[in-house]
Amino acid sequence: MNKPLRRVAIFSGLLILALLIRVNWVQFVQAEELQSDKHNRRVAIERYSVPRGDIIVDGKAITGSTTTDSGDFKYKRTYKNGEMWAPVTGYASQAFGADKLENLFDGILTGNDDRLFFSRTIDMFTGEEQTGGQVVTTLNSKAQKAAFEGLGNKKGAVAAINPSTGAILALASAPSYDPSDIAGMGTKDQENYQKLLKDPDRPMNNRPLRETFFPGSTFKVVTAAAALEHGLIDDIDAKTDTPAPYFLPNTRTELKNDGPHPTCENGSLREALRVSCNTVFGKIGAELGRDKLVETAEKFGFNNAEIDTPVRAGRSNVSTEMDKPQTALSAIGQFETAATPLQMAMVAAAVANDGKLMKPYMVDQLQAPNLNVVEQTSPEEMSRPLSPENAQKLQSAMETVVENGTGTAARIPGVTVGGKTGTAQRGVDNSEKPYAWFISYAKTDEGSPVAVAVVVEDSDAARGDVSGGGLAAPIAEDVMRAVLGK
């Protein structure tokens, strides 16, 4: 071979080698990156080329799929009672991707998860159309309906869980939206999405899991738990040395009660919960000190940035840099204290479950298209904020709140109910309507099957009529009744 031909052959060989290296690099090194690239339309085409698997509540699908003529996408997601279930399902949109359970379990729902390889292989040999698997939730449809309808035109949220397992029974948010309205690629879907983003009421926000609110007096349950656990109080019926008026430590700022409550002076822990004495709990917080109050709050889940349900919950906060007056304010749910509705449901659940806090979860099983179980969730203990003895003392006090205190609107005949109301001030100089809170649990001879937290962020009630007992407690009662079958 002459010299010029040899050079051409060597150059051609190098080009072929470079091509082989590049092809292997793309196939084996960049494959995952290219597959997940938002500009790779083939991934989206594949996702919507088969009927999407369903999200299941009480054995019934709350989602579906329908054929569509929108370009090269064959199927579009549909939702049943979409507004009610949006905080759970999220959305699967041809134009805007997926959110919440639709996003987290996209592989199962599209049938592309590696755990469904065997199912896909069988479909290939039998000629069956590939379909997605199912996500079986822990939600209770009756409880969810009671929560959503209870909120009605009020702005707010409800979270309900099973204290003994941590299974989430209801997650309602208002106002909400219908994911079906943004599921397609059409102009109307695009307009609906932009309208939702611009809505000042933020209907796409997941209030029960992601929004934090001042918890107000519902946080007094945490303060009471800290007082019992750290030995500041042993007898919940013993008088406390609480003066009237009570001034925040090292200040001349009076901490006032919400209304004339003469029994707050030297009031016992039970009485202070029953009528919600700021003075008693402010003094308890100051005497406990920051570190002990924060320690107990963190055992309940505060300051925990990684509570995955599997949808990640927002971080509830108790300041770790408080001085003594600020600690007194935090003890009554003010200062920088903030909590999600799920977090406050966890507080009620831990008390109801004799001091054991279970990790909240909303997915029971992942199933293959043939209904074989791919993954099963097992209840998991998260922490023990209270000893059983102290939890039972706190149960007794919370039950007094419902029997003849601020929470009587949550009574259920024949059922033991414990609760705590809260009305959280907000705005400069308390200029905005307060948040109305209620946390509770229901207890039967078989145990405590439900704990609930309700927050009403805004309503058409007059400012003077905003209270946890008046606005939030009746919603909690309906949810508990639904779970109990009453």
Could you tell me the pLDDT band of residue 462, with boundaries at 50, 70 and 90?
Answer: very low
Q: How confident is the model at residue 38 (pLDDT cuts 50, 70, 90)?
A: low
| Residue listed under structure tokens 């299941």 | 56
Q: How far is residue 418's CA from residue 283's CA, in Å, rounded to a whole number? A: 24
Higher pLDDT, 159 or 29: 159
The reply to whether 119 belongs to the active site is no
Residue whose structure tokens are 């949550």: 410
Contact between 138 and 455 (Cβ < 8 Å): no
Q: Give residue 37's pLDDT.
A: 63
- Mean pLDDT of the region 49-73: 89
pLDDT at 389 over 80: yes
Over residues 230-259, mean pLDDT? 94
Structure tokens at 160: 């309900």
With a cut of 90, say whether residue 74 has pLDDT above it. no
For residue 406, pLDDT over 90 is answered with: yes
Provide the residue ranges of all domains of the chain, joining segments of one domain with +: 43-121, 209-363+381-484
> pLDDT-based confidence at 127, cuts 50/70/90?
low
Q: Do 43-121 and 209-363+381-484 share a fold?
A: no
Give the active site residue among 164, 217, 319, 467.
Answer: 217
Eight-state DSSP code of residue 479: H
Q: Is 421 exposed, middle or buried (0-12, 13-18, 19+ CB in 10 A)?
A: buried
Q: Judge contact between 82 and 178, C-beta under 8 A.
A: yes
Q: What is the mean pLDDT of residues 208-232?
A: 97
Ranking 86-100, 134-148, 150-164, 250-264 by mean pLDDT, the lowest is 250-264
**Residue 393 confidence class, pLDDT cut points 50, 70, 90:** very high
Neighbour count for residue 6 (Cβ, 10 Å): 10
Q: At what angle do helices 388-404 and 341-352 cross, to 10 degrees?
A: 110
Task: Report the pLDDT averaged over residues 353-382.
Answer: 96
Averaged pLDDT of the chain: 90
Domain at 43-121, CATH class: alpha beta
Q: Which superfamily is assigned to 209-363+381-484 in CATH?
A: DD-peptidase/beta-lactamase superfamily (3.40.710.10)
Cα dihedral: 213, 218, 220, 225 (round 10): -100
| Per-residue pLDDT at 465 | 46
Does residue 142 have a pLDDT over 90? Answer: yes
pLDDT at 428 over 80: no
pLDDT of residue 321: 96
Question: Residue 228: what pLDDT?
Answer: 98
